Amino acid sequence: MLSSGKMRIVNGVPIHYTLDGPDAAPVITFAHALSLDLRSFDPQVEAFREKYRVLRLDLRGHGRTDPDGGSFSMEDLADDVVGLLDSIGCKQTHFVGSSLGAMVGFALAFGHAERLSSLTFMASQGALPEEGITRARGNIAAMRASGADSRTTLGGETDAMLTRLVHEPDESAYPEQIALLRRIIGETTAFGQARAYEAIFGMNYDDRLAEIRIPTLVLAGAQDSSTPPARMQMYKDGIAGAKMEVLQEAGHFPNVEQPEAFNGTLRVFLDGLRS
């Protein structure tokens, strides 16, 4: 049974998080993708909580964290992670980020490298291409023109998002995985997503990859049209000693779409660091 969520004030913001596993075990922190929340790592808790203390958090504007707050930067999100680590007495963590969460991993690697035992960077990028920024700005403008507020959810966009981002959005083929994604996306707010996009627009990490000296695993979904393996390859090539794996039959959310393959790949990486 997964632990129930807790709230803690970090950097003046109420952060929603969960913590599972033995108190003395090494900590592994999972940070979710844009438009998702900590529940997207439900499939990982059972797999890792025997050997690790598993920390998950809702990033600002997602889940139960800071739903009505103001603007923030990627560095603010990294500071939230550090503050949460401090609050649970953790000096160093393995960090696993997906999409938006991996961007937070970049900010941690550049600003708080001493807090990271390793970095797993999944389905993400260090700078949004100009066409992506233009498209996202148009979506945000349309959302604001519609009168959406902090209570307006992405429920009406869920099917389109699943079709675009998931390798196989057929609920009959992957009922548990698709149901989990559908539930989370349907409860995420357009306002929270827009605030996160503003943070993404302000980030540019692609020219700083050589600065990263932390053991790094790059994970890509073979069928991810948003951040395809060819795009992810530059992070494997640019980060010294980085390893890369491509998970088959997975789109933008490999840990949900192919949890067994994801868990196995991450476990091999982490076990290799201990040997």
Q: What is the pLDDT of residues 5-20, one digit of tens each?
A: 999 999 999 999 999 9
pTM of the model: 0.96
Architecture of domain 6-274: 3-Layer(aba) Sandwich (3.40)
Whether the per-residue pLDDT at 147 is higher than 80: the answer is no
Per-state percent for the chain, helix, strand, coil, to nearest 5: 45, 20, 35
- At 132, the pLDDT band (50, 70, 90 cuts) reads confident
Residue-averaged pLDDT of the chain: 94
- The whole-number average pLDDT for the span 154-164 is 92
- The whole-number average pLDDT for the span 115-130 is 94
**What integer pLDDT is reported at residue 187 of this predicted model?**
95
Determine the Cα–Cα distance for residues 37 and 161; give it in Å rounded to an integer. 15
- The whole-number average pLDDT for the span 30-47 is 97
Determine the Cα–Cα distance for residues 179 and 204; give it in Å rounded to an integer. 34
Percent of the chain with pLDDT over 70: 99
**What integer pLDDT is reported at residue 272 of this predicted model?**
95
CB atoms within 10 A of CB 13: 16
Determine the Cα–Cα distance for residues 189 and 137; give it in Å rounded to an integer. 16
And the tokens for 179?
Answer: 């149901």
Whether the per-residue pLDDT at 171 is higher than 80: the answer is no
pLDDT digits (tens, 9 = 90+) for 261-273: 999 999 999 999 9
Tell me if 121 sits within 8 A of 102, measured CB to CB.
yes
And the tokens for 163?
Answer: 């079709």
- What's CA 249's distance to the chain center, in Å? 19
- At 1, the pLDDT band (50, 70, 90 cuts) reads low
